[in-house]
């Protein structure tokens, strides 16, 4: 099995692959202490310890990267490879300063390119909402970053004196799209404004992308809230919540892995 790990600002996602099949996915909060993280790992991987042959980590939280590497080495006896240090997403990066791009964005772009084709726009609904464009030549061109729902809700509560705190759970309770634009209370107004605001922004930006780069641009949504927004955005073509984990798998098993991804060749 390959153990693919995505360390994000809010959560850490673990994916176990048997061959090309995503066999098991589990998440923990990024803010967990070392002891709590160790307990979760021990419990989740207890039955699969002898089957894991490789670990690849994609991270935007450096402190957690080193901690997780240490814990996994102790638990499994395997040195984890880290994207951006030990291996690299095999996609041409057109950023003016390539090192500024988060490795998660490159891995997601590479996965989209391989699985959905290009040109494409990937929208990742995470702590931040990111838009990443893969050109008609299959290159990573860059994109946009906006605050995600949780950041918006948190800022609204902390920067106002009288507005109540509204959590992401209140947003997710509205499972069915609601066409009404009028909130009947303060909490309802915040829920509608936040969800519909981000939905409207996404549709508007997708329209602009297609106007500038062509109507054949595929739009793929990923991240924990991807399915929620697919039901509300008219312009999203596909949803793949675990796109980054699949990208890590492709880097491990793809034909270009030995030549491009690793700093050094296998012995």
Active-site residue numbers? 104
Token duo for residue 96: 């003016």
Q: Which two tokens stand for residue 24?
A: 């098991």
The H or E element containing residue 150 is helix 149-158
Non-local CB neighbours of 60 within 8 Å, separated by 6+ positions:
7, 8, 9, 102, 103, 104
Distance of alpha carbon 177 from alpha carbon 179, whole angstroms: 6
Pair 122, 134: CB distance under 8 Å? yes
Q: From CA 87, how far away is CA 26, in angstroms rounded?
A: 24
Q: For residues 93 and 30, give the distance between their C-alpha atoms in angstroms, rounded to a whole number.
A: 28
Q: Which residue, 88, 91, 144, 89, is CA-closest to 118?
A: 91
* Dihedral sign of CA atoms 215, 218, 221, 222 in order: negative
DSSP 210-230: HHHH-TT-EEEEESTTHHHHH
Cross-strand partners of 11: 29
């Amino acid at each position: 099995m390959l153990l693919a790990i995505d360390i994000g600002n809010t959560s850490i996602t673990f994916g176990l692959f048997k061959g090309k099949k995503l066999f098991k996915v589990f998440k923990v909060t990024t803010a967990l202490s070392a002891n709590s993280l160790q307990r979760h790992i021990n419990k989740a991987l207890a039955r699969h310890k002898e089957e894991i042959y490789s670990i690849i980590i994609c991270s935007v939280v450096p402190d957690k990267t080193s901690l997780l590497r240490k814990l996994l080495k102790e638990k499994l006896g395997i040195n984890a490879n880290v994207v951006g240090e030990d291996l690299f997403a095999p996609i041409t990066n057109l950023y003016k300063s390539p090192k500024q791009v988060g490795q998660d964005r490159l891995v997601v772009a590479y996965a989209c390119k391989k699985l959905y084709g290009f040109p494409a726009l990937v929208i990742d609904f995470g702590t931040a909402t990111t838009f990443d464009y893969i050109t008609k030549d299959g290159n990573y061109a860059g994109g946009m970053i906006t605050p995600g729902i949780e950041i918006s809700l948190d800022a609204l509560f902390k920067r106002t004196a009288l507005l109540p705190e509204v959590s992401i759970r209140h947003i997710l309770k509205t499972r069915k799209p609601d066409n009404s634009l009028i909130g009947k209370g303060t909490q309802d107004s915040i829920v509608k404004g936040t969800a519909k605001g981000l939905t409207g922004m996404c549709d508007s930006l997708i329209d602009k992308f297609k106007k500038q780069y062509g109507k054949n641009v595929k739009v793929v949504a990923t991240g924990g809230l991807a399915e929620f927004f697919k039901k509300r955005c008219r312009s999203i073509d596909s949803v793949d919540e675990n796109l980054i984990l699949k990208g890590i798998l492709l880097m491990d098993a793809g034909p270009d892995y030995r030549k491009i991804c690793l700093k050094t060749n296998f012995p």
